[in-house]
Amino acid sequence: MSKKIKLGILGGGGDSLIGILHRIAANMFDKYEIVGGVFNPNFDDNMAFAKTLGLDSSRIYKDYQTLISEECKLDSSERMQAISVLTPNFLHYPMAKQLLENDFHVICEKPLTTTYEESLDLKRLKEEKNAVFGVTHTYTGYPMVRQMTKMISDGAIGNIQKVDAQYLQGWLNPVIHEKDKRSSTWRLDPEKSGSSCCLGDIGTHAFNMVELVTGMKVNKLLADLNTLYEDNPMDVDANVLIQFSNNAKGTIRSSQIATGEENNLRINVYGSKGALKWEQENPNYLYHLSDDNPLQVLKPGHSYNSNISLDGTKLPPGHPEGIFDAMGNIYKGVARAINGEPFDKAEFPPIEDGVRGMDFIEKALESNSKGNIWVELNK
Ligand SMILES: NC(=O)c1ccc[n+]([C@@H]2O[C@H](COP(=O)([O-])OP(=O)(O)OC[C@H]3O[C@@H](n4cnc5c(N)ncnc54)[C@H](O)[C@@H]3O)[C@@H](O)[C@H]2O)c1
């Protein structure tokens, strides 16, 4: 009998952006077997897509409620153990809540929910059920992000004094200027996206990266958001000043109207002894700067990297790995947790990261709406 984790998927149909990333990641280390799901809200589309994946139609369901009730009737050896939630944002909470209530492990896309309260409710349920819950902040799975995190925690750059994170995209530029074009994306619809577009979609990634690599919590923030047009209710650009409890300060700049930008996520961390810089579009290079020595460029797969970084590399140095591998590493970490194997807490973003992301969004919106004031995040 297969010892693979039986995985179901909600969302991520053939029409989706992110579905293929999760399917390849789930298959990468032979830890999961995708057995079924609800890939689209339309049942015919759902079935047709499942057929292209070669899945058994008996486990393709019309909606997530049916998936849960039918799967719960199966013997525990057959039943889906984990479910990936890859739908538009507004469905994350109701889906994840019912999944947890029915004893499934959950892998959920970001932003975790549409409100901070909902995210706390999921955290409470996850703890009550002792479930494994991973939030797919994909970029945390890159070997050189893991290396950056480890080097900073080992003191390689001394005390952190400045952090500069940016996540710049330009894909909304062709959409934002004409009102009727805006409905072409659910991301600009508050009913589906939640209260934020830019912060929720990409600002949360940058915020998560900042707290992960520095190992520090953002204490307070001051945000200035831009909707570009008065009749657009959603932020499409956000400049956020951040302050940590030790007086280190920084910025998180995110935008979906940075014309021509693709997926320009970068994080620079400056400390008293040096600095580390990483960028998503060239993910296999980590730059180490200092006052006295020439610039050092670290790359994946070399023995000078930490164990957690090396665990995220499958091939000898010089074989570029990318976004699929980063997500694969997250799925691998979640699989270890589900199987009760030892795992490093840096292997996948836990539900707490999703909760922090929701607090970040709500506090940034509050700061902006109150005239760009400093607002404290929850402890
Ligand atoms: N981790 C990342 O880097 C990353 C990147 C992109 C998107 N995302 C997140 O992934 C999620 C999906 O984003 P996307 O860009 O793939 O969206 P998308 O619009 O491209 O795809 C959404 C998919 O969900 C399906 N869907 C909608 N309602 C459904 C329902 N009721 N039941 C089942 N399926 C349903 C759609 O048919 C579609 O296949 C969002 O929460 C987004 O924030 C994360």
Domain locations along the chain? 5-138, 142-314+351-369
Three-state DSSP class for residue 179: helix
Is residue 227 lining ligand 1, measured as CB closer than 6 Å? no
Q: Ligand 1 mean position to 13 CA, how many Å?
A: 8
Q: Ligand 1 mean position to 59 CA, how many Å?
A: 20
Ligand 1, closest atom to CA 327? Answer: 1
The pLDDT, as a whole number, for residue 246 is: 86
What is the average per-residue pLDDT within 316-327? 97
Q: What percent of the chain has pLDDT over 90?
A: 98
Q: Which CATH class is domain 142-314+351-369?
A: alpha beta
Confidence of residue 124 (pLDDT cuts 50, 70, 90): very high
What digits encode the pLDDT tens for the residues 72-120? Answer: 999 999 999 999 999 999 999 999 999 999 999 999 999 999 999 999 9
Task: Tell me if 5-138 shares its fold with 142-314+351-369.
Answer: no
Confidence of residue 195 (pLDDT cuts 50, 70, 90): very high
What is the reported pTM?
0.98
Ligand 1, closest atom to CA 139? Answer: 3
Ligand 1, closest atom to CA 323? Answer: 3
Ligand 1, closest atom to CA 91? Answer: 31
Three-state DSSP class for residue 165: strand
Confidence of residue 377 (pLDDT cuts 50, 70, 90): very high
Measured between alpha carbons, how far is 42 from 123 in angstroms, rounded to an integer?
Answer: 30
What is the average per-residue pLDDT within 127-150? 98
Architecture of the CATH domain 5-138: 3-Layer(aba) Sandwich (3.40)
Is residue 91 lining ligand 1, measured as CB closer than 6 Å? yes
Burial 255-280 (b: 16+ CB within 10 A, else e): bbbbeebebbbbbbbbbeebbbbbbb
Measured between alpha carbons, how far is 196 from 225 in angstroms, rounded to an integer?
Answer: 10
Confidence of residue 65 (pLDDT cuts 50, 70, 90): very high
Q: Ligand 1 mean position to 197 CA, how many Å?
A: 14
Confidence of residue 1 (pLDDT cuts 50, 70, 90): very low
Measured between alpha carbons, how far is 73 from 274 in angstroms, rounded to an integer?
Answer: 57
Is residue 1 lining ligand 1, measured as CB closer than 6 Å? no
What is the average per-residue pLDDT within 158-171? 98
Measured between alpha carbons, how far is 251 from 249 in angstroms, rounded to an integer?
Answer: 7
Burial 215-235 (b: 16+ CB within 10 A, else e): ebebbbbbbebebeeeebebb
Is the pLDDT at 57 greater than 90, yes or no? yes
Is residue 109 lining ligand 1, measured as CB closer than 6 Å? yes
What digits encode the pLDDT tens for the residues 215-269? Answer: 999 999 999 999 999 999 999 999 999 999 888 999 999 999 999 999 999 999 9
Is residue 18 lining ligand 1, measured as CB closer than 6 Å? yes
Contact 276, 152 (CB under 8 A): yes
The pLDDT, as a whole number, for residue 42 is: 97
Q: In terms of DSSP H, where are the helices of 59-111?
A: 64-73, 92-101
Is the pLDDT at 334 greater than 50, yes or no? yes
Is the pLDDT at 2 greater than 90, yes or no? no
Q: Ligand 1 mean position to 91 CA, how many Å?
A: 9
Measured between alpha carbons, how far is 187 from 195 in angstroms, rounded to an integer?
Answer: 10
Q: Ligand 1 mean position to 39 CA, how many Å?
A: 9
37 - beta bridge partners? 9, 60
Mean pLDDT of the chain: 97
The pLDDT, as a whole number, for residue 3 is: 87
Residue whose C-alpha is closest to residue 119's, from 333, 368, 339, 349: 349
Question: Which of 86, 113, 196, 327 for a ligand 1 pocket mutation test, highest count of atoms within 8 Å of Cβ?
Answer: 86
